[in-house]
Amino acid sequence: MILDRFRIPGRAAVVTGAGRGIGAATAVALAQAGADVAICARTEDQLHAVAEQVEAAGRRALVVPADLSGPGAAEDLARRAAEAFGRLDVVVNNVGGALPRAFLDTGRKHLENAFQFNVGIAHDLTRAAVPYLIETGGGTVVNISSVMGRVAGRGYLAYGTAKAALAHYTRLAALDLAPRIRVNALAVGSVATSALDIVMTDDDLRTRMEQATPLKRIGDPEEVAAAVLFLASPAGGYVTGTVLDVDGGLDRPNLDLGLPDL
Can you give the pLDDT at residue 204?
A: 87
Which residue(s) pair with 38 in the sheet? 14, 62
Cβ neighbours of 208 (radius 10 Å): 15
Residues 225 and 18: their CA atoms lie apart, in Å, by 11
Residue 198's pLDDT band, with cuts at 50, 70 and 90, is confident
What pLDDT is attached to residue 7? 97
Tell me which H or E stretch contains 30.
helix 21-32
- Whole-number pLDDT of residue 54: 98
At 30-67, the pLDDT tens digits run: 999 999 999 999 999 999 999 999 999 999 999 999 99
Question: pTM for the whole thing?
Answer: 0.96
Label residue 193 by pLDDT band (50, 70, 90).
confident
Supply the mean pLDDT for the chain. Answer: 95
CB contact at 8 A, 225 and 219: no
Please choose, from the candidates 10, 260, 252, 11, the residue with its C-alpha nearest in 3D space to the C-alpha of residue 140. 11
Residue 221 has pLDDT above 90, yes or no: yes
* 120-169 pLDDT per residue, tens: 999 999 999 999 999 998 899 999 999 999 999 999 999 999 999 999 99
Angle 220-224-229 from CA coordinates, rounded to 5°: 140
* Confidence bin at 192 (pLDDT 50/70/90): confident
Residue ranges of E strands in the chain: 12-16, 36-41, 61-65, 90-93, 139-146, 181-188, 243-246
* Average pLDDT of the residues in 82-96: 97
Contact 145, 187 (CB under 8 A): yes
Number of C-beta neighbours around residue 56 at 10 A: 12
Q: Hey, which residues are catalytic here?
A: 159
